[in-house]
Amino acid sequence: MLVVSGTVTARPETLDQMLAAALAHVRRSRTEPGCLKHGVAIDAEDPLTLVFYEEWADRAALDAHFKVPGSLDFMKAMRALAASQTKMKILPVEPRD
């Protein structure tokens, strides 16, 4: 399993657009094969920063997700709306009960 985490900070005038795009992206991503969890939240200490958390079954599922036209459009929109560069980490994990 892979865990993906990331942050992106909006400009004050782009927050509503960024949040709407993020929520649409999360909802679409949850329907993709291999997506185990996908969510977005607003950072409690910086309300202009969105925090993403994702779990994917394997690298093939994540790679397919990155190639979906909606994902490419989302990333392009985030770059246009962001105040700073998006930060992302991809970590392999062993699930535990």
The residue extents of the domains of the chain are 2-92
What is the predicted pLDDT for the residue at 50?
97
pLDDT tier at 96, thresholds 50, 70, 90: confident
CA–CA gap between residue 75 and residue 80 (Å, rounded) = 9
Give which of 34, 41, 51 is closest to 88, Cα–Cα. 51
Strand partners, 22: none
Q: How do residues 9-42 score in pLDDT, each as one tens digit? A: 999 999 999 999 999 999 999 999 999 999 999 9
Question: What is the side-by-side order of every strand in the sheet holding 49-56?
Answer: 35-42, 49-56, 2-9, 87-92
What is the predicted pLDDT for the residue at 95?
73
Q: How do residues 32-86 score in pLDDT, each as one tens digit? A: 999 999 999 999 999 999 999 999 999 999 999 999 999 999 999 999 999 988 8
Q: Is the pTM of this model over 0.85?
A: yes
- 2.30.40.10, 3.10.129.10, 3.30.70.100, 3.10.20.520: CATH of 2-92: 3.30.70.100
> What is the DSSP track for 50-78?
EEEEEEESSHHHHHHHHHSHHHHHHHHHH
What is the predicted pLDDT for the residue at 94?
87
Over the chain, what is the mean pLDDT? Answer: 95
